[in-house]
């Protein structure tokens, strides 16, 4: 009996400008390709029939990567139109797939599973989906951890900005040095540039 090799989708995502300018996407893609080559025979994966999917500067916490214009969102549209089935989505880790609420992530995983699509979490060496019925509990724990990390990070960033705004209001000192062209920073304070226009 000849087995048909399963088509693979290698998905990478970064959310910030810093990650875009760095090697985040290249590193992820290299890691996914390496995993595919090393595990193709064991997991019945095609090393010829695969697609590279990239979402650059798109949030997984807000679910923006599931939007109609995002690469992952478009993949889901193809799945729902029955264009794709019995395939494999390979990600560096589940938090690259999504950092949304774990219940929502479980819904995404179920949608793929209904079409015979597994998700491979390379970092945790975990196959999530119909090929591994026991994976749902583990993936829920991983998704919950990713969501909590993002929520905590968001709260910390907000608190830091709130603190900066408060200090700036109380002391008159600047918050950031990147200012509009009509404002300068002198002696750690904002100074407006007033110009008279002759009419």
Distance (Å, whole) CA 88 – CA 24: 22
Q: What is the largest CA-CA distance in the chain?
A: 88
Q: Which residue in 90, 88, 102 sits closest to 151, CA to CA?
A: 102
CB 12 within 8 A of CB 23: no
Which among 12, 15, 59, 135 is annotated as catalytic? 15
Q: Which residues of 59-98 are buried (b: 16+ CB within 10 A; e: fewer)?
A: bbbebbbbeeebbbbebbeebeeeebeebbbbbbebbbbb
Q: How far is CA 21 from CA 24, 26, 78, 156, in A?
A: 8, 11, 30, 23
15 in catalytic set: yes
Which segments of 15-164 are extended strands (E)?
A: 45-56, 88-91, 118-121, 126-128
Radius of gyration of the chain (CA): 23
Distance (Å, whole) CA 50 – CA 44: 13
Tell me the catalytic residues: 15
């Amino acid at each position: 009996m000849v087995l048909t090799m399963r088509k693979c989708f290698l998905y990478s995502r970064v959310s910030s400008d810093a990650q875009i300018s760095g090697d985040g996407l290249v590193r992820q893609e290299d890691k996914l390709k390496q995993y595919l080559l090393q595990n193709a025979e064991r997991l019945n994966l095609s090393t010829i029939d695969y697609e590279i999917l990239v979402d650059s500067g798109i949030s997984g916490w807000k679910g923006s990567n599931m939007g109609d214009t995002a690469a992952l969102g478009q993949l889901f549209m193809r799945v729902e139109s029955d264009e794709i089935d019995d395939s494999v989505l390979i990600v560096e880790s589940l938090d690259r797939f999504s950092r949304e609420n774990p219940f929502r992530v479980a819904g995404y995983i179920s949608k793929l599973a209904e079409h015979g699509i597994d998700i491979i979490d390379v970092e945790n060496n975990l196959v999530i989906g119909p090929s591994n019925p026991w994976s749902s509990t583990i993936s829920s724990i991983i998704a919950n951890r990713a969501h909590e990390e993002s929520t905590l990070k968001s709260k910390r960033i907000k608190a830091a900005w709130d603190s900066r705004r408060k200090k700036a209001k109380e002391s008159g000192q600047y918050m950031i040095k990147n200012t509009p062209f009509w404002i300068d920073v002198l002696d750690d304070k904002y100074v407006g540039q007033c110009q008279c226009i002759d009419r």
